[in-house]
Amino acid sequence: MSGGKVEVVRAGALTTIQDLGRFGHASLGVPRSGALDQPAHRLANRLVGNPADAATLETTLTGVAVRTTQAAIVAVTGAPAPVRVNGRPAAWAGAVHLPAGAVLEVGTVTSGLRSYVAISGGVAVPPVLGSRSTDLLSGLGPAPLRGGETLPLGEIVGSPLHADTVVWQGPPQELVLPVLLGARDDWFTTTAVNTLATARFRVSPSSNRIALRMDGPTLERAVHLEMPSEGMVVGAVQVPPDGKPVLFLADCPTTGGYPVIGVVPENRLPAAAQAVPGLQVRFVPARRRDVLQRAVN
């Protein structure tokens, strides 16, 4: 059964189309992209009966409003926000019936930053290099949503999940991120590594899907040489010349010319996707040999 179309009534501050990401093209300089809060994306799809790789709408702060041309099942997860259908309150993190022509309104988040809207059938814009994700760095994939545009929906292949209880960990008052030191932690002074471990940073307003930028103390370099560009990974904590760490997220470049003091494990990045400007951030560094030793013991 075809999913019809969805009209964007209100685009919100920044709403993009995201799926699980664009894998296997780093050698071409193409970022991975994909939903920043993958658990929220996957949950939204499960609730409406979509496969995990179906494309959802990732909203930023102020939500979105859409109208479908035929009846659909929708779900809103991620950052909690008021949900309404034709002005009437509807469930957050639950499967909601959306009649044909009705407007689904996702309001401003009450905590966190990004919400995810799944629609039965998924948003079926043409894939680019195997993904429907919007990539803000390279410009690949569909552009951020604009009011008045119409998007195709895919074929409905599954049934919605009726869950009595949905467990979702809300955005913390402090973002605590483990970081595995390396590959270039030896380019920094011992004081810099201690600062990373003990200081309190705050999320900068200049953060985006590419990187979570930090305000706070600077990390002092021990090596003051120019470094040739090398491969970059999602979760890398890079330190540019101003000394303030930058945590790379899904739209990050595939190479970089500044030293990486450590890498945050990927399974801890969904919390970073919900980090609002001003949120306090604390890093917990560990060395690879210590992690391996704990695993052995």
Residue 122, pLDDT score = 98
Percent helix, strand and coil across the chain, each to the nearest 5: 15, 30, 55
The CA distance from 62 to 136, in Å, is: 18
Residue 153, pLDDT score = 97
The CA distance from 142 to 47, in Å, is: 24
Neighbouring residues of 130: CB distance < 8 A, sequence distance ≥ 6: 22, 23, 24
Task: Quote the pTM value.
Answer: 0.93
> How large is the C-alpha radius of gyration of the chain?
20
User: Domain locations in the chain?
Assistant: 5-152, 174-296
Residue 160, pLDDT score = 84
The CA distance from 185 to 236, in Å, is: 12
Residue 173, pLDDT score = 82
Neighbouring residues of 244: CB distance < 8 A, sequence distance ≥ 6: 201, 204, 213, 214, 215, 216, 218, 219
Residue 287, pLDDT score = 76
At the second CATH level, the architecture of 174-296 is Beta Barrel (2.40)
Residue 164, pLDDT score = 60
Residue 185, pLDDT score = 96
The CA distance from 34 to 254, in Å, is: 14
The CA distance from 181 to 260, in Å, is: 9
The CA distance from 171 to 181, in Å, is: 25
Cα-based distances in Å from 152 to 122, 132, 221, 266: 9, 12, 50, 31
Q: Which residues of the chain have pLDDT under 50?
A: 291-297
The CA distance from 262 to 197, in Å, is: 12
Please provide the DSSP assignment of 265-281 as one string. -GGGHHHHHTPPTT-EE
The CA distance from 72 to 245, in Å, is: 43
**φ, ψ of residue 269 in degrees (nearest 5):** -80, -25
User: Which residue's structure tokens are 């030793």?
Assistant: 293
Residue 295, pLDDT score = 43
The CA distance from 231 to 234, in Å, is: 10
Mean pLDDT of the chain: 93
The CA distance from 258 to 120, in Å, is: 43
Task: Burial-class residue 268 by CB neighbours within 10 Å (0-12, 13-18, 19+).
Answer: middle
Q: What is the DSSP letter of 185?
A: G
Question: What single letter denotes the amino acid at residue 183?
Answer: A
